Amino acid sequence: MPVEPFLVDQRITAQSRYFAGKTGSRFFTALRDHKKILGVRCAACNQVLWPPRSTCFKCFSPLSDSDLVEIGPHGTLLTFTRVHYREAVHPKKAPFIYGIIALDGADTGMAHFLDQVDFETLAPGLRVTAVFAEKRNADILDIAYFKPLP
């Protein structure tokens, strides 16, 4: 008996709750309440890490609230990519651009969205600034995206 090709549609939905930790909580509440971006300085390495963390990833020094420093909101684009296809793991509809941004005052970069930008002329080194969300919920999308500085 010939058999028609048979496709089965299924889905996995995973709910989770991520605890930001003590240092991460300071980072998110500063974003939500004051539109301030915090990094953390490791005195031993003399480096400012973004996002802030309670242990230096290089020398494992414990870091505390007194090491938190305000950074940004301007920064420099280190690298970028454009997502061309829609996939469930991406929080935005394609096409959109991910950039890795080193904020002024920080020594590490972090991934975020780039918008209001021409992809064709995009290049590392572009000066960008954070655009904060109107309604902020103490998560990383309190920064809506980064846009080029005029």
Is position 11 an interface residue for other proteins (rule: CB under 8 A)?
yes
- Give the whole-angstrom CA distance, residue 67 versus residue 23: 10
- Measured from the CB atom, the residue of 9 and 120 that comes closer to other proteins is 9
String of contacts with other proteins for each residue 104-133, x by CB under 8 A: ------------------------------
**Which 47-66 positions form the footprint of other proteins (CB under 8 A)?**
65
- Give the whole-angstrom CA distance, residue 80 versus residue 147: 13
- Measured from the CB atom, the residue of 131 and 138 that comes closer to other proteins is 138
Q: Bridge partners of 96?
A: 83
SS3 (DSSP) at 125? coil
Q: How many residues bind other proteins (CB under 8 A)?
A: 30
- Pick from 62, 66, 84, 89 the residue near other proteins by CB under 8 A: 89
Strands 127-132 and 109-114: unpaired
- Pick from 57, 58, 100, 138 the residue near other proteins by CB under 8 A: 138
CB of 111 vs other proteins, minimal distance in Å: 16
- What's at 130, amino acid-wise? A
Query: Between vectors from CA 16 to CA 61 and to CA 90, what angle results, nearest 5°?
Result: 90
Is position 9 an interface residue for other proteins (rule: CB under 8 A)?
yes
For 38, list phi and psi in degrees, rounded to 5: -105, 140
CB of 30 vs other proteins, minimal distance in Å: 10
- Give the whole-angstrom CA distance, residue 144 versus residue 15: 23
Task: Kindly list the residues in this chain that would bind other proteins in the complex (CB under 8 A).
Answer: 1, 3-20, 22, 24-26, 28-29, 65, 88-89, 138-139
